Amino acid sequence: MANYSVLMMLFVLSHSFLLSSQDEGNTTSQPICPNSFSCSNLNYLSFPFYTSNNSACGLCEVNCDEVIPKIKLKEDYPSYDLVQVVQQGSSATIQVRDTYFADQINSNSCDSFMYRFPPNSPSISYSIYPGSTISILRCAKSSQLGAQVDQYFGKEGEYYSFQRCIEYSYYYTYTSGYISANPNIPPPCSVVDLPGNPLSRLPKGADFNNLFNLLTSEINFVLQVSDDCQKCHAGGGKCLDENQEFRCEYNKSNMKKVNANDNFLFAENPRNIVIKSALATIGIGTVIISIVLALCLRFKFIRRHKTESYINVEAFIKNHEALAPKRYTYSSVRKMTDSFKVKVGEGGYGSVYQGTLPNGNSVAVKLLNELKGNGEDLVNELASISKTSHVNIVSLLGFCFEGRHRALIYEYMSNGSLEKFIYNRSSPLSSSQLEWKKLYEISVGIGRGLEYLHRGCNTQILHFDIKPHNILLDQDFCPKISDFGLAKLCPEKRSVISMSGMRGTPGYIAPEVFSRNFGGVSHKSDVYSYGMMVLEMVGGRREVVVEDEDMSSMHFPHSIYKQLVSNRNLGLRGILNEEDKERVTKMVLVSFWCIQSDPSSRPSMSKVLEMLEGNLESLEVPPKPFLFNHPKSPASRH
């Protein structure tokens, strides 16, 4: 029977192949693009990346045949060495090395100062990761230039001058972001943005007067695919940019509108056409094929239960049975959620449903998507939270691991996540309950939870995903840290840990987690994320790389730091008295200390709490974080 099944499967596949070949011969349809492809030490990459033999499948070509993979962001731009890639949804953060630019820097060529970043297109934008550039003035040489430059930098005071080039003079301040925030430049000058080294990477005693010392050939880009291009790709089409206009192209014979409101056409996925044709050819063998499919499904089910991820999780549960919370069957999970009736949240991990335990206590049941790697997300949650007991850490009450069903059962937080209160401060509910005193108490509570993870457990726990979405609020608005899917346990409590790949959410990730050039990864990486979150609580806006047309959120940190230094009113809503002003000022000061680019300059969480709960007079104003020296995308100024 087994041999007969194999023969039948070969028969089906051969017919499918013939139909696919016929279809390709009769039309000019796009190739069937792979969902992802393996690329050297970068693991698997997906759209918008593509390999040279799949040119219709993406926007950025990657050559994986080289020892160091090469990437070409645009047709008329040179290739870069591709060092690191982190993909999340429609965006990707990449680190590249421009070898040609490196040669220019090493040879002290003035052509270095003519560097061009790839411009945005209707299909994809290329933003520079914060802290990866420096802004300088490029001025045509003239006799009146000195006085004009002195006047421009008058408020800043000290600035640097570079005069080695024949045609242009260059002026800059390296740490203050002054040029980015002061667009009224002298007439013979223009602003130039160049790839720049972070302060932590410069050698001790570096000569700031030599502009070449401040440049770097390693650049961090954030790639964002446009909504139109995402729809086009999802429909099997190819994204094209013609005269700065977006166009989705596909085989006309198969084109159809996905949405009546769309102004471009999509094609039906050719993979679906092949499958439909294949099924049509085997209609006469319905009974036999049903038997074959039943055998295949049975084989797949058995194999799935023997996968490495399943074995990995089961082994962990067995070895930590004494510490693990109660294990529930899937039928019990269905019963406690009334067949998943009330959904209260959703994210990349899966969905969250409200449920009730037999004793009447409300719970939140998180149904996980497919296991990551060897079941790391589920193991991390069980390993991390089973070792904790703190008022500011969410309690894990149970879990389910049964075949393909995986769930985590937490105490129910009636007020949901902190995120919704940050962005809806004007609503009647949040304005009456989350006044500055409450926001301050929440920031202190989160700090206590993080200090406990870093110092209060037998095993140090680094969270690596601190953000408002992962802070839950109970009925009294007591904050609790949740979602330990990216956490890392450090039994030896080392100051610096080794870590492959990148963890976290863009906008909250510490620079050293993305690029080791900024320093070693440690508990200070959580401190950075905490600082970004507190700054977001103060500003009520998300601190991420954005498009040029929406720069207000990127200007906020710079403007509030400037007001802080000049001892002016911070210009924030809801500050009703001196106590509120003191709380907000402490939150701002502490957040700027936490987001220093150099990890060694950030305080520990114990010090953070001491600063938040101590006297305002004892707090020093921190140096301006290098992260905010450049709030605008360089491409916008060329």
C-alpha 319/C-alpha 48 separation (Å) is 42
Most confident region among 201-215, 355-369, 411-425 by mean pLDDT: 355-369
E strand spans, 412-531? 460-462, 471-473, 479-481, 488-490
SS3 content of the chain, % helix, strand, coil (to 5): 40, 20, 40
Task: Considering only residues 565 and 58, tell me which one the structure prediction assigns the higher pLDDT.
Answer: 58
Confidence category of residue 466, pLDDT binned at 50, 70, 90: very high
Choose the weakest-confidence range: 2-11, 163-172, 201-210, 281-290: 2-11
What average pLDDT score do residues 514-534 get?
Answer: 89
pLDDT digits (tens, 9 = 90+) for 351-400: 899 999 999 999 999 998 765 555 566 677 777 777 788 999 998 898 88
Residue positions counted in the chain: 638
pLDDT digits (tens, 9 = 90+) for 72-120: 988 778 889 999 998 887 888 899 999 999 999 999 999 999 888 888 8
Share of the chain above pLDDT 90, in %: 26
pTM of model > 0.85 = no
What average pLDDT score do residues 483-505 get?
Answer: 71
308-411 CATH, one of 3.10.290.10, 3.30.200.20, 3.10.20.600, 3.20.20.450: 3.30.200.20
- DSSP states of 436-454 as a string? HHHHHHHHHHHHHHHHIII
Positive or negative, the CA dihedral 211, 213, 218, 221 is negative
In one-letter notation, the amino acid at residue 526 is D
What residue ranges of the chain are covered by domains with CATH 1.10.510.10?
A: 419-634
Q: What is the pLDDT of residue 107?
A: 92
Q: What is the pLDDT of residue 202?
A: 73
Positive or negative, the CA dihedral 257, 262, 267, 272 is negative
In one-letter notation, the amino acid at residue 54 is N
C-alpha 58/C-alpha 36 separation (Å) is 11
Confidence category of residue 634, pLDDT binned at 50, 70, 90: very low
Choose the weakest-confidence range: 172-186, 525-539, 622-636: 622-636
Q: What is the pLDDT of residue 199?
A: 65
What residue ranges of the chain are covered by domains with CATH 3.30.200.20?
A: 308-411
Positive or negative, the CA dihedral 396, 334, 368, 348 is negative
Domain 419-634 class, CATH top level: mainly alpha
Confidence category of residue 204, pLDDT binned at 50, 70, 90: confident
266 neighbors 255 (Cβ within 8 angstroms): yes
For the annotated catalytic residues, the residue numbers are 465
- Residue 284: both structure tokens together: 């006469």
Determine if residue 366 is labeled as part of a ligand binding site: yes
